[in-house]
Amino acid sequence: MGVGNKRQANFELLRIVAMLMIITLHYLVKGGVIAASNVPLVIKENPTGAFAWLIEAFCIVAVNCYVLISGYFGVESVWKPGRVISLLCQVLFYSLSVPCVLLLIGAESAKKMELYDWIDCVLPIETEHYWFATAYLIMYLFAPLLSIGIRQMEKRQLQLVIVFLLGFFSLGKTIFPVYLVTDRSGYDFGWLMCLFVVAGYIRMYGIPWLEKLSHAAAAYLLSSFGIWLFALFVNLAASKFDVSFIHYINMLYAYNHLLCLISAVALFYLFKNLRIREGRFAGAVRRLAPYTFGVYLLHEHNLVRYEWMTWLGVEKVNESFWFIPHMIGCVLLVYVIGTAVDAARAWLFARVTAAVRGGRKQ
């Protein structure tokens, strides 16, 4: 991800920011700050809910940005089968260790686990224990084929492929406020593969208009505000005319909505052209970024993803604007704890790997 083995600090910083955004989204949605998605929001009675929608609109780009980074570098990098094993081991470490630790401390959620719950932990990829881990792993398996195709195609051909892909995955659900059988709102490997192709195009040919900082910033701000404003408009229509319109709000806050894609690409460009001077900050960013996936795996475990909201008392502030400082504190706390745990996991894996290699040499 840079010259030699040195990762580029600007993209590593984007990884960290994206993870903070992901934790923020989980705080808002799973913590109950954002009202139920099947009931129109009465803004006068719940202004915090409307403001939470605004924060969500600016953070919904996070997952897309992660995949764009992978595609941007993956299209020209060597595919490594060892990366597949590494990802599987990391996912299994969390899916199995979390319930064991919770059992040791006597957590009720772990005590209630049944046979299928354990199967879910033993086979986290097959059961989509973590939807993103499953989708990302499948995308990575297809990455060498996608990379070869992207490099071999002419620019015009690749543009047409992207148009057709976006037409299938994004344009239809963006325009028509109806349920589409094939639409999974971006929670699948198909959308991640689409993002990989888009990122590959950016790496090969770029999007000149977004190279200018002001253009990228404007695209990110306008697209994110656009999601929020459309959500308020749809909410008004649902409350005045037909409650079924409320479904379109969920469609607006979907990873594969066209506005979300534009916003993610624009934010990606902001960091792509960000210049970070070498020094302590750049070094710290490079040290912390590799642990971001572990932060996700820890706080999104089935036994933890709703519990940490209760542990941190989110319900006590979710109807007042005190949720803002509380949210900032909780997001940072979850990130710090997740980073520390994954650093320990990485240390343990390194020691085990060294021991195995040493044993083989003997």
- Count Cα neighbours of 215 within 13 Å in the Cβ-side half-sphere: 9
Q: What pLDDT, in 10s, does the model give residues 303-315?
A: 999 999 999 999 9
Q: What is the pLDDT of residue 58?
A: 98
Please list, in sequence order, all residues whose beta carbon lies within 8 angstroms of the beta carbon of residue 14, skipping any fewer than 6 positions away. 65, 69, 267, 268, 271
**In the prediction, which pLDDT does 4 show?**
43
Burial class (CB in 10 A: 0-12, 13-18, 19+), 225: middle
Beta strands in the chain (DSSP E): none
d(CA 220, CA 116): 42
Cβ proximity of 64 and 227 under 8 Å: no
Q: Could you read off the pLDDT of 113-160 as tens digits, one per residue?
A: 999 999 999 999 999 999 999 999 999 999 999 999 999 999 999 999
pLDDT of amino acid 49: 86
Overall residue count recorded for the chain in this entry: 362
- Contact by Cβ (8 Å): 25, 60: yes
Question: Which residues of the chain register pLDDT less than 70?
Answer: 1-5, 35-40, 42-45, 177, 359-362
Sequence ranges of the domains in the chain: 9-361
Rg (CA), the chain: 21
For the chain, the maximum distance between any two Cα atoms, rounded to a whole number of angstroms, is 76
